[in-house]
């Protein structure tokens, strides 16, 4: 693989892009397929899993890109591991479950049935993992070594290093290890999802005279997987030793009097999707609390073993977890590269990292600490992470402390375990204010944190609801009701990202403060839906899932096509994380056929095929991967010079339109609208350093320019 590029994915099945038996223009074909996805229409869509893996490939390619600082390349390698873990826990697990239940051989928009998709995914993930370890061993490790950052391997330990490591083993490691011998009295242990384990082959008899030939040692999750040695011991600026190396070197201490024939790392990945029967539950929180502990012990979907593991032991482990040969990954190195994430932060080398981003403040807040006065003076737009998240926290904190504030309402999807914002809500409730919080308990992998916050909020006297059964509450909104003279005024914050101070430092998102009546009316109506009962009211400006957003987007796309067909300018620019919903894709194809220009910035999975002559030749798809995770969803429609601009937390996916509660809100202030167009869209269309361009087969190539232009660097310089 060349530096900075990724080898193309072969998209299966190999079908013509536009069916050969279709007579007439592609637009005629689309018109006939607009109401149902028949066999012909399926050939217009890329497979979701294949497209998602292509995104993971782009992340992995960052690890080999020498334009990126070295320690950040290591970080990208770890991020790839984390992404792939989740892909197996959710997507692959879902495919396996369908096969297990012998689901009918139905196909999706891409034309593949579940078994075909599973075979495709298996082949590609094996190739990706092999490439990952090649990059680690042959590229990153030598590059790090040249910079005095070394992973010290057992065969090369000096006597002094060996003594220090031996002392560490007896002092820190051995007291917390529990070796489990395998015999009739000690069955194979329940192995936690993604935990580091060691399979040990033994010979001899133990103290009770029992013959033993195998044992399992589980590494406690609390222990670091890489240990930094003192500089005077390591012989370099930063010398690390793997926990697995330490245990391998001293595993015999755990089995005195017996011979250790082999010791092998392994890790199992399990199905982590939670099942809650929403028709049967009486209390969602109680149901989740009962279900969460089982996440660690779901059905196995992948087994990773060290490549030196004996065939006999590999087969034994495979049988224990009920896995097929294709579900076993033999790796040349640590079985969990995610756990190398602390290394970049442990190394004090600014020259090998991205320059720090020190968030700025918009002018409206630089000399005005009173959030309510500043918002009354005009709408305020925040662009994270270039601009600080602290005004969002200040907004809630000031509301909590202000005696004139009567009520606070907020949605919580992901907030993390440590949240100053939620602490402020708890404080507001304790002061007797009306605090209502919509906590989404089914926010994947954040369920426990959200359950904990919900309990604390309730104890403080807040009203806590869990949204609507069957729909995830994903909208990002906060509203404050304040008495000002003889009337009540409402203030709102709505955004594209979570109320999470940590991700706000690394995810690009927009947030809008306003007290415009038309907008806060819509915010209040959505909160009423979430906390009460009744039919949805008419919203003045918001498009809302699951009611109006999908239809409104279809209408906006078709309108641009009609303008173009009539000889006027038709232009759509949309930025999102994923584009998968078939009817929207068909509408984009039709708008392209009608002559509209469509620029799509899709970070992750994209099922649309761009650049097909006569069908999607007016559509371009690009993906931007840089220092920050592109997370904002921005939808621009030229609309005959009106330039409609909307922000949302929703991607163009089935779930976001039909199984989530989302809002898509307009930016009405002309100055702020121009900012969103420039900062959120135009600068990305000029990017030629962090951008990957997609072709009709789902392959991506890094865009290159003679003079590198980075949207993220431009925004950092302008705003931070």
Q: Which residues contribute to the annotated binding site? A: 83, 414, 444, 603, 631
Q: CA-CA distance, 585 to 605, in Å (whole number)?
A: 13
Strands 380-384 and 507-514: what pairing?
antiparallel
Q: At what angle do helices 159-168 and 243-250 cross, to 10 degrees?
A: 90
Q: CA-CA distance, 300 to 290, in Å (whole number)?
A: 20
Separation in Å, CA 585 to CA 33, 141, 421, 560, 614: 12, 43, 38, 14, 15
Write out 482-527 in H/E/C secondary structure.
EEECCEEEEEEEEECCCCCCCHHHCEEEEEEEECCHHHHHHHHHHH
**CB 195, CB 218: distance < 8 Å:** yes
Residues annotated within a binding site for ATP: 83, 603, 631
The long-range contacts involving 583-586, CB below 8 angstroms and separated by at least 24 positions, are 583/34, 583/550, 583/554, 584/550, 584/553, 584/554, 584/557, 584/652, 585/44, 585/45, 586/30, 586/33, 586/34, 586/41, 586/44
Write out 666-716 in H/E/C secondary structure.
ECCCHHHHHHHHHHHHHHHHHCCCCEEEECCCCCEEECCCCCCCCHHHHHH
**CB 367, CB 506: distance < 8 Å:** no
Q: Concatenate the DSSP letters of all residues of 309-372 into one string.
A: S-HHHHHHHHHHHT--GGGEEEESS-S-GGGGTHHHHHS--GGGSPPP---B--HHHHS---HH
Catalytic residue among 56, 238, 384, 474: 474
Q: CA-CA distance, 527 to 525, in Å (whole number)?
A: 5
Q: For the purposes of burial, counting CB atoms within 10 Å of the CB of 253, is it exposed (0-12), middle (13-18) or buried (19 or more)?
A: middle
Q: CA-CA distance, 503 to 596, in Å (whole number)?
A: 36
Residues annotated within a binding site for Mg(2+): 414, 444
* Residues whose CB falls within 8 Å of the CB of residue 408, separated by 6 or more in sequence, listed in order: 396, 399, 400, 425, 428, 433, 434, 435, 436, 478, 479, 480, 481
C-alpha torsion 442→445→449→451, nearest 10: 30
Question: DSSP character for 139?
Answer: I
* Residue 417, phi then psi, degrees to nearest 5: -80, -20
Separation in Å, CA 191 to CA 219, 242, 315: 11, 21, 17
For residue 454, give the nearest of 475, 469, 439 by alpha carbon. Answer: 439
For residue 625, give the nearest of 49, 46, 8, 73 by alpha carbon. Answer: 73
Active-site residue flag, 384: no
> Mind telling me the catalytic residues?
474
């Amino acid at each position: 693989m060349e530096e900075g590029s990724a080898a193309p994915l072969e998209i299966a099945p190999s079908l013509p892009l536009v069916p050969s038996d279709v007579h007439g223009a592609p637009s005629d074909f689309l018109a006939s397929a607009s109401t149902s996805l028949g066999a012909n229409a399926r050939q217009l869509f890329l497979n979701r899993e294949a497209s998602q893996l292509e995104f993971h490939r782009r992340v992995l390619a960052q690890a080999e890109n020498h334009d990126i600082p070295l320690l950040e390349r290591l970080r990208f390698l770890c991020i790839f591991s984390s992404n792939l873990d989740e892909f197996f826990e959710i997507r692959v697990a879902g495919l396996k479950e369908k096969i297990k239940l012998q689901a009918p051989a139905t196909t999706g928009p891409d034309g593949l049935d579940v078994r075909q998709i599973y075979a495709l995914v298996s082949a590609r993930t094996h190739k990706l993992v092999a490439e990952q370890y090649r990059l680690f061993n042959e590229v990153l490790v030598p590059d790090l070594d040249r910079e005095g950052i070394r992973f010290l391997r057992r065969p090369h330990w000096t006597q002094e290093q060996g003594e220090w490591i031996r002392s560490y083993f007896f002092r820190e490691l051995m007291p917390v290890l529990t070796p489990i011998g395998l015999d009739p009295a000690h069955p194979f242990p329940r192995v936690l999802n993604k935990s580091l384990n060691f399979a040990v082959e033994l010979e001899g008899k133990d103290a009770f005279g029992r013959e033993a030939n195998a044992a399992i040692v589980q590494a406690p999750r609390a222990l670091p997987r890489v240990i930094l040695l003192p500089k005077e011991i390591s012989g370099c600026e930063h010398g690390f030793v793997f926990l697995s190396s330490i245990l391998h070197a001293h595993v015999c201490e755990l089995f005195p009097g017996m011979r250790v024939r082999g010791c092998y790392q392994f890790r199992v990945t399990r199905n982590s999707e939670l099942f809650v029967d929403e028709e049967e539950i009486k209390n969602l929180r109680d149901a989740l609390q009962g279900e969460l502990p089982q996440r660690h012990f779901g059905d196995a979907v992948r087994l990773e073993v060290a490549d030196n593991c004996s065939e006999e032991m590999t087969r034994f482990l495979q049988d224990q977890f009920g896995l097929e040969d294709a579900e076993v990954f033999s790796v040349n190195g640590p079985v969990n590269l995610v756990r190398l994430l602390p290394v970049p932060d442990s190394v004090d080398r600014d020259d090998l990292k991205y320059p720090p981003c020190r968030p700025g403040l918009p002018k409206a807040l630089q000399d005005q600490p009173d959030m309510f006065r500043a918002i009354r003076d005009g709408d305020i737009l925040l662009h994270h992470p270039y601009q600080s998240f602290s005004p969002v926290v200040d907004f809630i904190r000031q509301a909590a402390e202000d005696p004139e504030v009567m009520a606070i309402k907020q949605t919580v999807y992901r907030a993390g375990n440590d949240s100053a914002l939620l602490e402020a809500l708890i404080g507001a409730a304790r002061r007797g204010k009306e605090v209502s919080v919509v906590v989404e308990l089914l926010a994947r992998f954040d369920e426990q944190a959200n359950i904990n916050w919900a309990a604390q909020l309730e104890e403080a006297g807040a009203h806590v609801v869990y949204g609507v059964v069957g729909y995830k509450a994903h909208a990002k909104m906060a509203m404050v009701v304040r008495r000002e003279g003889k009337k009540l005024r409402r203030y709102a914050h709505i955004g594209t990202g979570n109320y999470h101070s940590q991700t706000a430092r690394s995810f690009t998102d927009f947030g809008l403060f306003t007290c415009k009546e038309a907008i806060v009316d819509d915010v209040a109506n959505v909160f009423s839906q979430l906390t009460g009962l009744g039919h949805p009211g008419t919203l003045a400006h918001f498009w809302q899932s699951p009611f109006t957003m999908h239809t409104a987007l279809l209408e906006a796309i078709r309108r641009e096509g009609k303008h173009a067909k009539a000889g006027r300018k038709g232009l759509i620019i949309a930025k999102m994380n994923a584009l998968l919903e078939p009817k929207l894709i068909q509408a984009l194809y039709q708008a392209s056929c009608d002559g509209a220009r469509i620029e799509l910035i899709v970070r992750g999975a994209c099922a649309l095929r761009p650049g097909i002559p006569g069908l999607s030749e007016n559509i371009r798809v690009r993906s931007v991967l840089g220092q920050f995770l592109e997370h904002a969803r921005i939808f621009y429609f030229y609309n005959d010079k009106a330039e409609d601009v909307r922000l949302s937390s929703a991607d163009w996916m089935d779930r976001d339109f039909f199984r989530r509660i989302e809002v898509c809100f307009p930016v009405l202030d002309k100055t702020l609208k121009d900012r969103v167009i420039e900062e959120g869209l135009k600068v990305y269309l000029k990017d030629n350093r962090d951008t990957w361009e997609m072709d009709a087969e789902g392959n991506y190539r890094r865009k290159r320019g003679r003079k590198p232009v980075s949207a993220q660097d431009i925004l950092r310089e302008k705003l931070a």
